[in-house]
Chain A
Amino acid sequence: MNIINVHQLHKQFKVSKHRRGMWGAVRNLVSQDYQLVEAVDHIDFQIGPGELVGYLGPNGAGKSTTIKMLAGLLVPTGGILEVNGRVPWRERQAHVAEIGAVFGQRTTLWWDLPVIESLALLKHIYKIPEARFQHNLAEFTDMLALAPFLNTPVRSLSLGQRMRADICAALLHEPKILFLDEPTIGLDVVAKERIRQFIKQVNQARGVTVILTTHDLQDVEKLCERVMIIDRGRLLFDGQLKSLRDRFGGRREMIVDFTESYPDVAVEGAQLIAHDGVRATYQFERDELTASTLIGRISSRYRIRDLTVRETEIEETIRRIYEKGLLES
């Protein structure tokens, strides 16, 4: 039984086209030309309960639009969209009572209230029984280290503190699904790590289904088994992170330190991408060449002191997918 069911979902935006120049401006007053932009272009996917899915794509790809439709904030132009067995925008209040959402760019808390009072208001909004509320609050306060700033107004929190407070707020009512739209944006390494730990724990211990959009691929590597990649409104990839790496992360790197500096260290089958003094970096295709063959070729000509082989980072893989449209066939 899927908790999210999306079939041929699409969303069009009307963008007004402004004519240029003075005469154009006058004509704009009378009639405006619209251009239809397909923000989400007929996508399909299913998500089962308890999954933790990374939803990736460059800016303007349609990630946020999808999340907003799933959260019931945007009405789709067409297609099927079911979350928790409901059509989100048709039964907004019932729907939002069972989801949690964090939009990294803005807060859902009240700007001028202390954190604890914002959370207390949420208790009334979601009608959380007092005992459950206290229990969850204590647990999240501990896990997210909220105690030092519970009495601080939201507007005076640092970004990392605000994000933790927001994540706590999104989970107090024990939603079945959590939407996280760039939850680690602008945070330092420590704060990011703490939030990742928490997301993982909530997903595993409480079985909350998590859909996460991010530009930080560390988030993806550390959290998600499954990734979906969207670009220009179209779903380019939906599958295991591992298979993404296998399919498109075919290039590996070998960094070699020689015992002395050679003027030319090129070998066949591998591309020399850097050469500086005694150190050289080669790139080679996994399918074409094994690491041991390459080592053999190099060592037959030059004396090697040390070497490391590096798998391509997921970041590199995804950048290649965006840039070259590798998935478009």
Chain B
Amino acid sequence: MRLFFELTKQSIRRHLTYRAATLAGLVTNFVFGLMRVAVLVALYGEAQEVEGITVSGIITYACLSQAVIAYLSMFGWYELMNSVYTGEVAADLLKPMNYFSYWMAQDLGRAIVNLLLRGVLLMVLFSFMFELDTPQTAIQWLALPMAIILGWLLSFSWRFLINLAAFWTPNAVGFGRFGFVLSWFFSGFLMPLRLFPDWTVDLANLTPFPHMLNTVVELYIGVLSGAALAQALLMQLLWVLGLILLGQLLMKAAVRRLVILGG
């Protein structure tokens, strides 16, 4: 536990030093956010509400999905994969620690920095531009941090699983991209899931992806409450446990398979 905390702390410090990259990312996410809002508002046209999402709801959705890009690493995360290909993985496996929690601690540090510097800051910037929705009830406010944390856990476990492919093939980047595109679509990152036809929504609900992002968004714009809210959080938790378990199992198999390339 102490090690986990120390690794997270180191990772926070490291990510705080990437000032230029953070600023560039912030500007990009902001500009694309403005464009997405413009497109979605144009699509809404005269309509006040579509599938329970109001115009201000859809604007908030667009801003939120821009704000989560960084802390959920929506555009891909290949650090673990690269460490396998460069052979750095050997140094990690020479240390008596759990490989999964080692990466998790470091990703937590990365996520915290990006949630604050690129997530919260971005929402503050957007709130100067638009009238944004916020959670309505105290329960929704309480549930929000939980949903955010579970969403990150889910995203990390998924990224960990994808990256493990590096242990099996000499170039897993293509596989990784496929995994990330899958998560864009089914997490509601491209469009709110509610706006898709029912069968797509049903299909998405069979995957863990809606719980990375869509749950957080629906909670934030206030369309998720009561029993549905409780159920969503529970499902998030179950998926997290499932994926962590799967990650641990696959990790064991991966380490066993390990053949370090070169020298």
Chain B residue nearest in CB terms to A112: B14
Taking a contact as CB atoms under 8 Å apart, the answer to whether A93 and B96 are in contact is yes
Residues 72-112 of A, flagged 1 when their CB comes within 8 A of B and 0 if not, give 11110000000000000100111011000101011110101
B52 adjacent to chain A (CB < 8 Å): no
Q: Does the CB pair B258–A74 fall under 8 Å?
A: yes
B95 surroundings in chain A (CB, below 8 A): 96, 108, 122, 125-126
Contact string against A for B residues 243-263, beta-carbon threshold 8 Å, 1 for contact and 0 otherwise: 000000000000110111001
At the interface, yes or no: A117 with Cβ under 8 Å from chain B?
Answer: yes
Decide: A73 near B7, CB < 8 A? Known: A89-B256, A92-B255, A124-B2: no
Interface residue? A121 (CB, 8 A): yes
Report the count of interface residues on A (CB-CB < 8 A): 30
Give B85-112 interface residues, CB cut-off 8 Å to A. 87-88, 90-91, 93-98
Question: Nearest residue in B to A103 (C-beta to C-beta)?
Answer: B90
Q: Is the CB of B94 within 8 A of A108?
A: yes
How many A-B pairs have beta carbons closer than 8 Å: the answer is 61
Interface size class of B (residues with CB under 8 A): 20 to 34
Query: Smallest Cβ distance from A110 to chain B, in angstroms?
Result: 8
Smallest Cβ distance from B87 to chain A, in angstroms? 6
Complex Cα spacing A258 to B7, Å? 71
Cα distance A13–B257 in the bound complex, in angstroms? 12
Q: Which chain A positions have C-beta within 8 A of B3?
A: 121, 124-125
Quick check: is B49 within 8 A (CB to CB) of the other chain? no
Cβ–Cβ contact B14 & A107, under 8 A: no
B263 and A96 form a contact (CB under 8 A): no
**B10 sits at the interface (CB 8 A):** yes
Cβ of B79 under 8 Å from chain A: no
Given A105-B263, A117-B10, A121-B10: A96 touches B256 (CB 8 Å cut-off): no
A74-B258, A96-B95 known, 12 other contacts, Cβ within 8 Å: A13-B259, A73-B93, A75-B256, A93-B97, A106-B88, A106-B90, A106-B91, A108-B91, A113-B10, A121-B6, A121-B10, A126-B96
Task: Using CB atoms and an 8 Å cutoff, list the residues of chain A in contact with chain B.
Answer: 13, 64, 68, 71-75, 89, 92-94, 96-97, 101, 103, 105-108, 110, 112-113, 117, 120-122, 124-126
Q: List 19 A-B contacts (CB under 8 A).
A: A13-B259, A64-B263, A68-B90, A71-B94, A73-B94, A73-B260, A75-B258, A93-B96, A96-B95, A97-B96, A106-B88, A108-B91, A108-B95, A113-B10, A121-B10, A124-B3, A124-B6, A125-B95, A126-B95
Residues of B within 8 A of A (CB): 2-3, 6-7, 10, 14, 87-88, 90-91, 93-98, 255-256, 258-260, 263
